[in-house]
Amino acid sequence: MNILYIGDVMAEPGIAAVEEVLPSLRTEKNIDVVVAQAENVTNGKGMSLDDYRRLRELGVDVFTGGNHTVALKELYPVLENPDEPVVGPANMHDCPGPGYKYVTVNGKKLLVVSLLGHIVGKHADWPTDNPLQTIDKILAAEDPAKRDALVVNFHGDFSSEKVIIGYYLDGRASVVVGDHWHVPTADAEVLPKGTAHMTDVGMCGSLDSSLGVKFESVLPRWRDGYQTRNELETTGRMQFNTLLVSVDETTGRATSVEHIRKVW
């Protein structure tokens, strides 16, 4: 089974990047399931129902979440519906939905889990529970025989946290992929017990920007010390970052992993 995990889709440029790359990439790499980080889809915060439908039509099968998932209440019924393939963080207090869902795509059954890191959680809209304890509870409650693969998304601030959860789940998850910082790390690998891991997969959207935001709207914070409003960058070069993982369906373990980065 080939699973593609797309990094943070950052606003309209991110959607455009998915539209540019995903259809042909899905065919080229014989991809069975496409998962995407959706917390930044609509103007950088949350995902609207219209944008949800657009990305579904472009070929995204499953959506993970982060600290901005709760920004748009129109998505709450989707998060709560077990038949809709969108999950928010499982350890965020009062976030709609369970934070994990079973999704069947092309005959492949995945358990998809979203988690928030400790530091992000302190600044999110709601407080969070310990992510390691949360994933332990989920895995204790769910029968491994019910799934072909387990995909865990860890949306966090510190690289150290993202590395730790990879090793913590090595041999228990098929894929553990980090995101949130929008800059890809150079460490995609299959860990010793068979879990594909990458600390941060990166983002989709504007390349000539500060994580998708205009440099001009960020510089005064660093140079002059006063708060400014983020302005999304919509011009210049584009980027598309994703992680491709092949999983042995008999064992649920990863056999190969590749970070794919396209710039134009």
pLDDT for the residue numbered 126: 64
pLDDT for the residue numbered 122: 53
Any residues with CB less than 8 A from the CB of 181 and at least 6 apart, and which? 157, 200, 211
**What is the domain partition of the chain in residue ranges?**
2-263
- CATH code of the region 2-263: 3.60.21.10
Q: Are 39 and 46 in contact (CB under 8 A)?
A: yes
Catalytic residue flag (residue 197): no
Residues of the chain with confidence (pLDDT) below 50: none
Q: Which residue has the tokens 């769910």?
A: 142
Query: What is the rounded CA–CA span in Å between residue 213 and residue 232?
Result: 4
Catalytic residue among 68, 155, 197, 259: 68
pLDDT for the residue numbered 123: 56
Give me the helices (H) in the chain, please: 11-28, 49-58, 76-80, 118-122, 131-141, 159-168, 215-223
In the structure encoding, which two tokens stand for residue 227, read together?
């708060």
